[in-house]
Structure 1
């Protein structure tokens, strides 16, 4: 019974505050003797509902012992600013990609007389068919039955093994 009482008392008296994150979660650590070895225990006290996904990566690394020191508020602000820059750059890249696809799509498609959109040869240039010609050392050409081509010409289930 005294071990249990000691553990409960140790939870409240022997802990040191490590910091808080922007969600208001509080992080603590304490050093205790386990099997003759001094080990540091680290834990989080959630603000409000217990939501493990609200813990930032830097604090997860500290909780798991991958970091020796708890992250500082300045470090957390720098990392948040970096994440925001990355989000902004990704949005710009997606926008540029959509514009490029729209431009390429309008240049390489034509409408047939029945109203269907067809690819022009310019749209499929640079892609290879399913059979590729290879040349051996004697200069003889052989057709390969292995699938080849770029992502735009890939069609699942079209390749059949040679018979």
Structure 2
């Protein structure tokens, strides 16, 4: 109930805001009744003023209300460019020179990781005594004595694996 009381004023405010936007757009269109050609909008778009861009956008909105089969190729290209083209927030997602910087940053990260690994290995202590080949062979003998995993393990008949030995 409380949320419903909050939503109604927000919806009303949104409607009033959209009405004021559409009123501003229609006044802009009335003052600028110039028809901007839609051929090659991609090349012209950055050179157009904000009012002219708004006019082109409104022209395309009116054109798109019709059947799409009746639109010319230039009109379709313009509509696609305005909707999905590399302008505004989509402009220059990867500015020139960003790819080499990215590759260099990756290489620096890999080099830093390698240096950290080698440094930690240099200051590490000796491996534990259980990693010696003698200890691991003794573990195989103990497994045979205790008959550990008699079906597929070290004490099984015909076993040909290395068992617990993993050191060279």
Greater relative contact order, per chain length (Cα 8 Å cut-off, separation 6+): 2
Q: Same fold (TM over 0.5)?
A: no
Structure with the greater alpha carbon radius of gyration: 2
- Scaled by the length of structure 2, what TM-score is found? 0.29
Higher strand share: 1
